[in-house]
Structure 1
């Protein structure tokens, strides 16, 4: 099943094209990371997926239904956090979640209290007191926004910068929460510029630049071996002599060797009596991939 499908999706604000002809497909069950520099169009794309912004042209399908035409049927099955978490600032977190649950389900809701307590516990706010949301820290507001996104037990979770304002422990807790939701069958889509978080969480990524989707690929494929092996040895001269031109770079006792199989290379060096203290296949990082595909970003000002 495909949970997100867009075709030639475009959004213009006056003379500015924020999203430009995006064709995106996200299958059910993946953890999908939408990457790109600030101003690349990530948030505008997410808002169009949810029907919060209408496209200039192109189409959106969410959970197999056209958006925004079928938003009333689709959105109850979707949890979302876009930009800053919304809340009634003079009310407590619990009161906010109860009102949101009532708005979504209607009526008194026999199990409302249990649902609210469950999502508060899942995001680390089980012990929150009655203080109003306006007195919350940024991290607490972010946790509350994610709790609101989980309130309806969504099939699809769309999160824009979900770890914004969280400390390192909070980021780790949120990662574990999202991994658990994914294991239970929820499709997780997150938009972020934090490459390390996407690399640690996602199975598939899309890269945006200047409004265009310039790449979609499985993370394992992007980070496949480059055909080079990093070798560290106390006898680098012997390695250079043995491999006869396969060494493409040398820095002291560290060498970069052109070799398709790290295991075969290791056996060759050991058989030649060369001591190897470190050996690993070189892989491209997600940061390298994104930097190769994107420009400087919209918050840079050059002459």
Structure 2
């Protein structure tokens, strides 16, 4: 069985790239290929212009990663885990280790961490610890698989803000997720996988292009329907959906005819619509 088939992934320096797709679509396998944790049977992978896995020893020190469940020794504290993780890495400085561990714990919201073993952590705390490990060596690129799994809404927003801040400082962010809303709020470019193939890849703005429809809120929907007969797609007691290419021109027309407009806005496609159209009709449901 082929897990990833003919994917041509284009992640550019400085991107906030979100990889989306249903469960089992191949997202995690693709992330593992990028990190030389799995090996492709054909094709090529290049990260920072260098082939992986052949030159992975040059590439991986530049990457901070969190794949699937964050790894840790459950009987040790989070701080001890990070100290060991740093000591095992190439070019680690013992002199600055304690300071750097403290800094990354502060950044991910674990600055007040105590000596509890990791086995006593909540899922959200484990996620934060995994992200701290990924940030420990100031990576040029972050590769994250479901980074907000287990976090509450406030925690999700904190991690989103942190990733945006890191990206604005020059770190390329690549994340795999099934949370469409989070990707829509964070990412600038998106790829969509389905059954092992990359079925869509573009900037978020391009994917959410205008639909050619304008939503008009008005206390006089009958007047709008009468004036724009043939262009009205749907309406109710307070709004009308109109097929029109220029919202400013439409607003001017309505105002010139003494139609009161409360608000008017271009209708764009949601990321959810884009993904559902691009992927097959499969889910985790088990019907009779």
Q: CA offsets per residue over residues 74-95 of structure 1, 9 Å max, x none?
A: 1000000000000011111111
- 1:55 correspondence with 2:51: no
Structure 1, unaligned runs of 5 or more: 1-15
The number of equivalent residue pairs is: 288
SS at match of 1:96: helix
**Structure richer in strand, relative to its length:** 1
Q: CA deviation at 1:222?
A: 1.2
Q: Give 1:145's aligned residue.
A: 130
> Which deviates further from its counterpart, 134-143 or 227-236?
227-236
Q: CA deviation at 1:251?
A: 2.5
- 1:293 correspondence with 2:278: yes
Is 2:191–2:201's contact at 8 Å kept on the other side of the alignment?
yes
What is the rounded CA distance, in whole Å, between the counterparts of 2:125 and 2:218 in structure 1?
A: 49
Question: What is the RMSD computed on CA atoms of the aligned residues?
Answer: 1.2
SS at match of 1:38: coil
Aligned CA distance change for structure 1 residues 180 and 107 (closer, same or farther; 3 Å):
closer
Is 1:234–1:275's contact at 8 Å kept on the other side of the alignment?
yes
Q: Give 2:70's aligned residue.
A: 85
Aligned CA distance change for structure 1 residues 227 and 288 (closer, same or farther; 3 Å):
same
Aligned CA distance change for structure 1 residues 235 and 101 (closer, same or farther; 3 Å):
same
Q: Give 1:191's aligned residue.
A: 176
Q: Where do residues 3-152 of structure 1 align in structure 2 (5 Å cutoff)?
A: 16-105=1-90, 109-152=94-137
SS at match of 1:252: coil
What is the rounded CA distance, in whole Å, between the counterparts of 1:229 and 1:260 in structure 2?
A: 8
SS at match of 1:19: coil
TM-score by length of 1: 0.92
Q: Give 1:271's aligned residue.
A: 256
Q: Give 1:211's aligned residue.
A: 196
SS at match of 1:275: coil
SS at match of 2:267: strand
SS at match of 2:44: strand
Is 1:39–1:297's contact at 8 Å kept on the other side of the alignment?
no
SS at match of 1:140: helix
Q: CA deviation at 1:278?
A: 2.4
What is the rounded CA distance, in whole Å, between the counterparts of 2:89 and 2:45 in structure 1?
A: 23
